[in-house]
Amino acid sequence: MDPVPNADDVPPGARPGPGPVAPGSLGPHPERHPDDLPPADPPRRRLPAGVLWAAALGIIVLMVASWVALSSEPAPDPNLVRLTDPSATVPAPGLGGLDVVGQPASATTYTTFDGATTSVAAHAGTPVVLNFWASTCPPCITEMPAFERAHRAVGDQVAFIGLATTDPESQARALADQTGVTYELGFDPTGEIIRQFGAVSLPTTVFVGADGRILESTTSELDDAEIRERIRTHFGVEVPEGP
């Protein structure tokens, strides 16, 4: 068996040299200058805490504002004349009713379909059934023939007035022809007169005594029986039942 040679016995030229050096490593040369080292990754920039808090607060404020906008309802326009629920049997809340009872009828003038100028107050001395209507109001269209039947039944004992409210003249005249009403018709183009009688909804009917004072203002569709009952109660006039 051959003896194992001692490292000192290995000739200098036969000693193994250093292995390959990986690129970018110090390898066997730890004395390399720092400028020869590969650049380090730049540090990540962090947003200041104040900016993060401001952004979070802005998101919360936006969410709250959106919720308020979606959940709140706009205040109703007191000058807007609107249609009532066709199935309503009592005045809509806050419209018409006792707040105008006992007050004198409006003296504001209106133009009739015949071109004359008059007012509800000008009919003092005769009880008045005043009906506000529009061609876009289905309950108005339904009840207008009932008013016409009552008008024909009582004759001159009671004055009937129908005011087309915020309705284009052409449409108002077309509805009058369609329903066949013959009592006095006029125009309330801006809704000014209906508001003076404590209402902003259609249909509205006002019963005015012979003394010119308001006895009732109701915002609902009236049928033949209800019209007859109110005329009897307020004016003491019996309305014969028609065909």
Sort 101 into a burial class: Cβ within 10 Å, 0-12 / 13-18 / 19+. middle
* Domains defined along the chain, listed by start: 143-236 (3.40.30.10)
- Looking at the DSSP bridge assignments, the partners of residue 186 are 112, 163
- Asked whether 132 and 202 are in contact (CB, 8 A), the reply is yes
- Asked whether 149 and 181 are in contact (CB, 8 A), the reply is no
Among the listed residues 115, 167, 119, 111, the one whose alpha carbon sits nearest the alpha carbon of residue 140: 167
Among the listed residues 192, 146, 185, 145, the one whose alpha carbon sits nearest the alpha carbon of residue 162: 185
Would you give per-residue pLDDT tens digits along the chain (243 residues)? Answer: 555 555 555 555 555 555 555 555 555 555 555 555 566 666 666 656 676 677 777 788 778 776 655 555 444 444 445 544 444 433 333 334 447 899 999 999 999 999 999 999 999 999 999 999 999 999 999 999 999 999 999 999 999 999 999 999 999 999 999 999 999 999 999 999 999 998 889 999 999 999 999 999 999 999 999 999 999 999 999 999 865
**Is the pTM here over 0.85, yes or no?**
no
